[in-house]
Chain A
Amino acid sequence: MLRTSVATAFRSFHTTTPCQEIRKLARLRVVDNSEIGKRAMAEGKPPRCIHVYNKKGVGLIGDKVLVAIRGQMKKGILVGLKQDQKTKVPKFDSNNIVLIDDNGSPLGTRIHTPIPTILRTILKEKTIAKGADYTKVLAISSRFL
């Protein structure tokens, strides 16, 4: 009796299968220490991707995504993927994002998981002069792989 009530109150399983590919409605994991990200992960309501900012609609490493998190829309950068990667690019056990604002500066001050080194090059290429500067994400990371 108790167990069922607990199960309905905090449902520990998800009714959709985990998506290995980042497309719309894929669940993600926030890995920085931003307040909103920490709250969302602690509640067990991880953000969902609601848009991928590229032409294919499938997010690859370093791509910008729009996520729905605690009833708000935030932008994030994919910093680790579950999908099979090219050789020497690490593949992670979860799909990780770092939340950023429109200028590209991260909402948190630290990233607590490792980050692939290839992001250095990718984010540098994506940065627009006098526009969004994504390399600030690299500055708050704790470890590169």
Chain B
Amino acid sequence: MIISRLINKRICNATALQRAVSSTSSSQNAITSESPKHRRTSLVSPSYRFMYPEFLPDPKPEWRNLIREKLERKDMLARRSKIEMPSEFYVGSVLAVTSSDPHAAGKTSRFVGICIDRQGCGLRAKFILRNVIDHQGVEVLYDMYDPTLQKLEVLRLEKRLDDKLYYLRDCLPEFSTFDLNMEADILPEGSEVPINDTKAVLKPRPWLERWERQDLKGISNLEEFLTPKMVRQAKQRETPWEQYDLMKEYRRTIPAEEQSQIYSEVYSELHQFELARKKMKRKRNIPSKLA
């Protein structure tokens, strides 16, 4: 089991690299056609686990329940068929959420911000948006499948250098300031999701967390605030062997076989939504070009 998963992981890495270097899909097909089992599920793109991470259940064995997971997936698809939800967004993308709000004057409220974290799986999938409005940092936590959400737009689809951007709370405000009336940038079809490599500038200490211990790539001036003691302690607590820890990997992830099974189950509907969205986008773009 572990070995097969490792091989699959290596395949995924290899495909990811291939896609990064050149966008030819021939190598992917060559790899997926190695075993007959893979040929059957080759329709499902291997990038689905990054596009739709919430469809994978929590790998903790005590919390697994196959029937509940299946029902949840059904509910998620039902919800996705009702509202405009983007096919993909990542930590670092700028989103706009319109939700119905009984407290607001117009009964709806809209918030724009950068996604600093995605957490939870299944119907409990959540994300946090951050923005600086009137010089005041504000964060809002949203449930992705909340029935009160009316619309979820991706204004800028991109990734950042880190998986979690909580350090923006301690950075200068311009790194988390986004215009509330921002227009959506639409990427050309079939293009890679760009990685935004801006490095944020930290404010001096005190900080909310010990950023020096977290191996962050998106901070430009971390070193200038560190004392020799902090550097030493960060070095003591490094765990560089963890990436080779097979058992940790095993407990943290869902096996590749199971992943492909889950995604092949939801593939047809997700693909339909994607096609419908593309159609809508084209319809919306044509009049604007004429005008």
Q: Quick one: which of B104, B133, B134 contacts A117, CB cutoff 8 A?
A: B104
- Does the CB pair B146–A87 fall under 8 Å? yes
* CB within 8 Å of A: which B86-114 residues: 99, 101-105, 109, 111
Interface string of B114-154 (1 = CB under 8 A from A): 00000000000010000001111111111100101000000
- Does the CB pair A88–B142 fall under 8 Å? yes
Interface residues on A, range: 20 to 34
Q: Quick one: which of B104, B134, B139, B148 contacts A90, CB cutoff 8 A?
A: B139
Interface string of A68-81 (1 = CB under 8 A from B): 00000000000010
Closest A residue to B138 using CB positions: A90
Does A143 lie at the interface of the complex (its beta carbon under 8 Å from any beta carbon of B)? yes
- In the bound complex, residues from chain B placing their C-beta under 8 Å from that of A143 are 133-134
Bound-state Cα–Cα, A56 to B138, Å: 26
Q: Quick one: which of B102, B136, B141, B169 contacts A87, CB cutoff 8 A?
A: B141
* CB within 8 Å of B: which A90-106 residues: 90-94, 96
- Does the CB pair B103–A114 fall under 8 Å? no
Given A121-B102, A144-B105, A145-B109, A87 contacting B143 (CB threshold 8 A) = yes
Q: Quick one: which of B102, B111, B141, B146 contacts A145, CB cutoff 8 A?
A: B111
Interface string of A105-143 (1 = CB under 8 A from B): 000000011100111110000000000000000000011
Interface residues of A (CB under 8 A from B): 13, 18, 31, 80, 84-94, 96, 112-114, 117-121, 142-145
Beyond A86-B141, A93-B139, A114-B136, 6 additional pairs, beta carbon < 8 A: A18-B206, A87-B142, A89-B140, A113-B135, A117-B104, A121-B103
